[in-house]
């Protein structure tokens, strides 16, 4: 059986969908459905069992799931809000829970693949290379990034990082993110703005070396992200930290223009001041080095930003469709 935490969430449900495409249905999904619409991501998926996150660790320790051996753990569940200010909450969710699951997985010889984050790189002062020898030098800009960084460091200190796979997801977008509120990708946000007003607002640049809307990000389509994730299920000899990215930095203007074009509407972009509360935490440039991923044997061609947005808009956003 394959365990997927966060399996009703954005990347988690896309991963379950991709597993289904490969014929895997013996899947245990763990999540916290709450009162939102995340449950809708499960409707088109095939899985063997579901467990609420609050009940999961006690049930796991009691052996409730021992009827079938868990052979692989995809630990994607976490609080992913970059503006979350409750540090204790982040520690319990992103650090302590992760430690317990890692200990279980390694004790039971299950493949352990987990979500780290590109937020661990901070402002990029030390680059965006997924080299384990560099992680002690990284300084995340927010508590979310630091909670992920803490777990990377803990695994390394425990001697478990070279027996695990930590995935440093960059800016992932695509189907099944409808429930994410303020944490939705800007493709979805701009799609909604265009439908409502015919225009899109972007943050002005507050640095002289970047023009408005020219801040750069490594945007990756969720379909590519889950293909990369499943690569490590099929390559058990590959371990350590890996960037889940395209290796190409694109600007916000490009992203918004591609969204307008996919909708068949002439672009109309204006620029507004960035809130002072986030200016000191704002990343002006991210680009994941994926040489290590490629060296591990991943050779699939990636969607371009324009191809991905065209697929997302035309096949999902215009009719509210989901993967499944």
How far apart, in whole angstroms, are the C-alpha atoms of residue 91 and residue 96? 6
Give the list of residues 6+ apart from residue 37 with CB closer than 8 angstroms, or none.
Answer: 178, 179
Name 269's bridge partners: 200
Query: Please, are residues 128 and 287 in contact by the beta-carbon 8 Å criterion?
Result: yes
Distances (CA, A) of 148 to 29, 281, 323: 21, 16, 27
144 is catalytic: yes
Q: Catalytic pick from 53, 99, 180, 292?
A: 180
Alpha helix stretches (DSSP H) within 129-185: 143-157
168 is catalytic: no
How far apart, in whole angstroms, are the C-alpha atoms of residue 133 and residue 192? 42
How far apart, in whole angstroms, are the C-alpha atoms of residue 109 and residue 92? 24
Give 54's DSSP letter: H
- Helix %, strand %, coil % for the chain, to 5? 45, 15, 40
Q: Catalytic pick from 47, 114, 121, 144?
A: 144
Give the residue numbers annotated as catalytic, written as ranges.
144, 180
């Amino acid at each position: 059986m394959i365990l997927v935490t966060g399996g009703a969430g954005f990347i988690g449900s896309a991963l379950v969908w991709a597993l289904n495409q490969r014929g895997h249905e013996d899947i245990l999904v763990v999540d916290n459905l709450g009162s939102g619409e995340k449950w809708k991501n499960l409707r088109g998926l095939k899985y063997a069992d579901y467990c609420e996150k609050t009940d999961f660790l006690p049930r796991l320790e009691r052996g409730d799931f021992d009827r079938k051996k868990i052979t692989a753990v995809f630990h994607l569940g976490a609080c992913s809000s970059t503006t979350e200010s409750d540090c204790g909450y982040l520690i319990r969710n992103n650090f302590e829970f992760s430690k317990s699951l890692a200990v279980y997985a390694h004790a039971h010889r299950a493949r352990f693949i987990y979500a780290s984050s590109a937020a661990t790189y901070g402002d990029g002062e030390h680059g965006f290379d997924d080299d384990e020898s560099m992680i002690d030098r990284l300084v995340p800009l927010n508590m979310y990034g630091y909670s992920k960084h803490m777990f990377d460091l803990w695994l390394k200190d425990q001697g478990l990082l070279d027996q695990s796979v930590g995935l440093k997801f960059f800016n992932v977008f695509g189907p099944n993110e409808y429930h994410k509120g303020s944490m939705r990708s800007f493709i979805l946000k701009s799609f909604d703005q265009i439908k409502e007003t015919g225009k899109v607002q972007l943050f002005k640049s507050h640095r002289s070396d970047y023009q408005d809307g020219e801040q750069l990000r490594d945007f990756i389509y969720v379909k590519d992200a889950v293909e990369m994730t499943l690569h490590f299920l099929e390559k058990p000899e590959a371990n350590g930290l890996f960037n889940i990215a395209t290796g190409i930095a694109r600007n916000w203007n490009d992203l918004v223009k591609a969204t307008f074009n996919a909708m068949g509407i002439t672009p109309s972009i204006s620029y507004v001041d960035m809130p002072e509360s986030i200016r000191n935490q704002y990343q002006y440039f991210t680009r994941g080095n994926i040489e290590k991923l490629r060296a591990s044997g991943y050779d699939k061609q990636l969607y371009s930003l324009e191809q991905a947005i065209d697929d997302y808009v035309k096949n999902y956003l215009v009719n509210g469709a989901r993967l499944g």
